[in-house]
Chains A and B, each alone.
Chain A
Amino acid sequence: MTASASTMSPPPTAEQYEEKEFGFWLYLMSDAAIFALLFATYMMMVGNTAGGLPGKELFSLERAAGETALLLLSSTAFGFAAVALSAGERSRTVIWLLVTFALGAGFICLEVGEFWGMIQEGAPPERSGFLSAFFTLVGTHGLHVSIGLLWIAVMIGQVLFKGLTAPVASRLMRLGLFWHFLDIIWVIIFSVVYLPGLL
């Protein structure tokens, strides 16, 4: 409270890291509920094309497979970063984080390209209920991935400037949870959106 009292500023305690991880799990559950509702909405509206193009004519399996590969690989790369982190190897952690970032960014590029292509084909989100639901579901995931990329960039900076300190390691753990969570969501998107749309 008073200035005299705050002479020391200790980092958070071990219990506080545990609390943060627990809180982050709670956040992920809440976020999962958001995706669950977006999936439900998509499944309900998949037929509501209002005379516009259906998924079958819009989706490309190659592109979806490419997106999947990039995101799964980036998750694997994050796994290597986590291994390096627990081994306490700073530069290897940074390198794997960079690989994770590059693969994630590749995913975003492919997705932006896909969206752009659909808009060019006359299938923008305002064309039909189906397309609104598609862009919102996949776009929300893409937004999460973009925020994850920003987070990875910040963490690369933290590892470089602060080293693998306890607070940095704790943040990387939570980033890992987030990144793998997005992977799981993408696998569901692939199975719910792209596969039925193409088969």
Chain B
Amino acid sequence: MATAPIIDPKGPIILAERNLMFSATAIMMIVILPAFLMTALFIWRYRGTNRKARYTPDLAYFWPVEVVVWGVPAAIILWLGIHLWHNTYELDPYNAINPSVKPLRVDVIAQDWKWLFIYPEQDIAVVNELVFPAGRPLSLKITSDTVMNSFMIQALGGQIFAMAGMQTRLHLLADEPGKFWGRNVQYSGAGFSDQQFRAIATTNEDFDAWVEKVRGAEEKLDTATYEKLLKPSQKVPVTYYSDYELNLFDTIIAKYAHNDADLTPSSETAEPAQ
């Protein structure tokens, strides 16, 4: 399931991120290639045994050189800085991807060592499988009910941390149906290596069929089931819950409230402090 997203991007976010990486690499070649060439050339030309090469032992300053060595890297960084600024705003993971299309909302909870996905609009919950329609933006709210985690589906885009008592956001979009690989990339303890999930982009019809299948599941994610699920466990198989406790996501964030004002959070106010 793992492909290199820089060769084979599966969505517009990772494509833009990759293109930024390519163009930055290309522009930096303006200084990197001369550095390589000069090193090779000077080693050869000015080797001590080459008595034909000019030798100026007291040459210690030549102002045009200084203008170039300060000026050219500065110009590159200026170019890069402008692109950096623009792209960082453009690719802010909090940004909605295409405001004209209604995104699919999924609330993501990191646990030791598995991922719980809650579909508030479908009233279902799933462990270790994230299914969503291709072509429709995915709007994720992410938190943790354990240590700090980092959520990433590299084929679609970058990562964001999951932290207890806080919510972070991530927007992704898959161009085509496909199976991707998602996981926690922030070390979180003994079960870290297996803390992964399947991310499946489907057609709209397949998505609806999948939702129906989950709705038919016997288990419901009530408080007792949640407490049991929360206990550290590894290699947890995909599990479907046809229903979940109301406001589960907000309740989990509120567990770690800092003060009285936080005890009744609306999900919008629980952003991480800057």
Interface residue B52 (Cβ < 8 Å from any Cβ of A): no
Residues of chain A lying within 8 A (CB to CB) of residue B259: 47-51
Q: How far is the CA of A127 from the CA of B259 in the complex (A)?
A: 12
Q: Which residue of A lies closest to B273 (CB)?
A: A44
Closest to A44 in B: B273
Number of residue pairs across A and B with beta carbons under 8 Å? 16
- Complex Cα gap A48–B258 (Å): 5
CA distance A44 to B257 in the complex (A): 15
Question: Among residues 250 to 265 in chain B, which have CB atoms less than 8 Å away from a CB atom of chain A?
Answer: 257-261, 263
A129 within 8 A of B: yes
Main secondary structure of the interface of A (DSSP, over half): loop
Apart from A49-B258, A49-B259, 14 more pairs, CB < 8 Å: A44-B273, A47-B258, A47-B259, A47-B261, A48-B258, A48-B259, A49-B260, A50-B257, A50-B258, A50-B259, A51-B259, A51-B260, A51-B263, A129-B258
Give A32-49 as 1s and 0s: 1 = Cβ < 8 Å from B's Cβ atoms.
Answer: 000000000000100111
In the complex, what residue of chain B is closest to A130 when comparing beta carbons?
A: B259
- Contact code string B238-274 (vs A, CB < 8 Å = 1, else 0): 0000000000000000000111110100000000010
Which residues of B are found within 8 Å of A49, using beta-carbon distances? 258-260
Q: Which residues of chain A are near B260, meaning CB under 8 Å?
A: 49, 51
Considering the chains assembled together, what is the distance between the CA atoms of A88 and B189 in angstroms? 64
Chain A 74-89, CB within 8 Å of chain B: the 1/0 string? 0000000000000000
Question: In the bound complex, how far is the Cα of B34 from the Cα of A151, in angstroms?
Answer: 60
In the A-B complex, list the 10 residue pairs whose CB atoms are closest, starting with the nearest: A48-B258, A49-B259, A47-B259, A48-B259, A51-B260, A50-B258, A50-B259, A47-B258, A129-B258, A50-B257
- B interface residue numbers (CB < 8 A to A): 257-261, 263, 273
The CA-CA distance from A44 to B261 in the complex, in Å, is 15
Q: Interface of chain B, helix or strand or loop or mixed?
A: loop
Instruction: Tell me which residues across on chain B come within 8 A of A47, comparing CB atoms.
Output: 258-259, 261
Cβ of A48: which chain B residues have Cβ within 8 Å of it? 258-259
Residue of A with least CB distance to B257? A50
Q: Which chain B residues lie closer than 8 Å to A51 at the CB level? A: 259-260, 263
Which residues in B have their C-beta under 8 angstroms from that of A129?
258
How far apart are the CA atoms of A47 and B273 in the complex, in Å? 13
Residue in B closest to A47 when the chains form the complex, CB atoms: B259
Report which residue of B257, B258, B259 has the largest number of chain A beta carbons within 10 angstroms of its beta carbon.
B259
* Distance in angstroms between the alpha carbons of A129 and B273 in the assembled complex: 15
Q: List 16 A-B contacts (CB under 8 A).
A: A44-B273, A47-B258, A47-B259, A47-B261, A48-B258, A48-B259, A49-B258, A49-B259, A49-B260, A50-B257, A50-B258, A50-B259, A51-B259, A51-B260, A51-B263, A129-B258
Q: Tell me how far the C-beta of B259 lies from the nearest C-beta in chain A, rounded to whole angstroms.
A: 5
Q: When chains A and B are docked, how far (Å) is the Cα of A48 from the Cα of B260?
A: 9
Q: Digit string of A128-143 for contact with B (CB within 8 Å is 1, else 0)?
A: 0100000000000000
Q: Which residue of A lies closest to B258 (CB)?
A: A48
| B253 vs chain A, min Cβ distance (A) | 15
Cα-based distance from A177 to B258 in the complex (angstroms): 39
Nearest-CB residue, chain A, relative to B261:
A47
For residue A79, give the distance in angstroms from its CB to the closest CB of chain B: 43
How far apart are the CA atoms of A129 and B259 in the complex, in Å? 10
B165 CB to nearest chain A CB (Å) = 10
Q: How far is the CB of A41 from chain B (nearest CB, A)?
A: 13
Contacts of B273 in A (CB 8 A): 44
Query: What is the bound-complex CA distance between A120 and B224, given in angstroms?
Result: 37
Interface residues of A in 4-35 (CB under 8 A from B): none
- Would you give the shortest CB distance from B67 to chain A, in whole angstroms? 37
Complex-state Cα separation, A49 to B257, whole angstroms: 10
| Distance to closest chain B CB from A121 (angstroms) | 18
Q: How far is the CB of B110 from chain A (nearest CB, A)?
A: 22
**CB of A23, distance to nearest CB on chain B (Å):** 34
A192 to chain B, nearest CB (A): 19
Once bound together, how far apart are the Cα atoms of A50 and B259, in whole Å?
4
Closest to A49 in B: B259
Question: Would you give the shortest CB distance from B271 to chain A, in whole angstroms?
Answer: 16
